[in-house]
């Protein structure tokens, strides 16, 4: 990621953070609309899951300039996701739901440049999570 992309992601996150609970509701609504088969993977209370999601995103966004420091935690998250039944193909759906959510929350202020920066950030983190999934499930095709 470029320094400009990092700055864009961090700036937009500062706008989203005050409405994090609503953003999480949008995210999960969109995620399950895109792929209803994902709903059973979320056994916990979605409100609590949404708080965890927003906290995880906050940590990732704050750490974008030091991605190498975050890699082991992100890889571990991927291993945990594998244990929940997440498949590699699900990451694209999650990314689409995330961008859609940001578009809805930020409205016209969410530019294509911001969307591209968020997509890049998500792709980088998702790739590390997928590595973790592969570590967790060496015999299973992910």
Report the pLDDT value the prediction gives residue 138, as an integer from 0 to 100.
Answer: 57
Report the pLDDT value the prediction gives residue 47, as an integer from 0 to 100.
Answer: 93
Q: From the CB of residue 141, how many other CB atoms can be counted at a distance below 10 Å?
A: 7
Residue-range definition of the domain harbouring residue 69: 3-136
- Residues 87-114, mean pLDDT to the nearest whole number: 96
Domain contains 68: yes
- Residues 30-43, mean pLDDT to the nearest whole number: 94
Question: What's the pLDDT band for 83 if we cut at 50, 70, 90?
Answer: confident
Domain contains 107: yes
Computed over its alpha carbons, how large is the radius of gyration of the chain?
Answer: 15
Domain contains 117: yes
Question: What's the pLDDT band for 119 if we cut at 50, 70, 90?
Answer: very high
> Domain holding 59: CATH number?
1.10.490.10
1 and 67 in contact (C-beta within 8 Å)?
yes
Domain contains 141: no
Domain contains 54: yes
Residues in the chain: 142
- Residues 9-19, mean pLDDT to the nearest whole number: 96
Domain contains 142: no
Domain contains 29: yes
Domain contains 53: yes
82 and 136 in contact (C-beta within 8 Å)?
yes
Q: Is 117 helix (H, G, I), strand (E, B) or coil?
A: helix
Total domains in the fold of the chain: 1
Task: Name, in order, each residue with C-beta under 8 angstroms of 39's C-beta and a sequence gap of 6 or more.
Answer: 32
- Residues 19-38, mean pLDDT to the nearest whole number: 96
């Amino acid at each position: 990621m470029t320094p400009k992309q990092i700055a864009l992601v961090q700036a937009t996150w500062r706008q989203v953070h005050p409405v994090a609970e609503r953003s999480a509701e949008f995210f999960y609504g969109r995620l399950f609309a895109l792929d209803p088969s994902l709903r059973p993977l979320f056994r916990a209370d979605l409100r609590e899951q949404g708080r965890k999601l927003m906290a995880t995103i906050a940590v990732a966004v704050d750490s974008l300039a030091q991605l190498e420091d975050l890699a082991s935690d992100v890889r571990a998250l991927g291993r945990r996701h594998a244990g929940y039944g997440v498949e590699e193909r699900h990451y694209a759906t999650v990314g689409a739901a995330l961008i859609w959510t940001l578009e809805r929350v930020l409205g016209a202020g969410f530019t294509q440049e911001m969307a591209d920066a968020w997509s890049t950030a998500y792709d980088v983190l998702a790739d590390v999570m997928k590595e973790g999934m592969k570590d967790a499930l060496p015999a299973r095709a992910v």
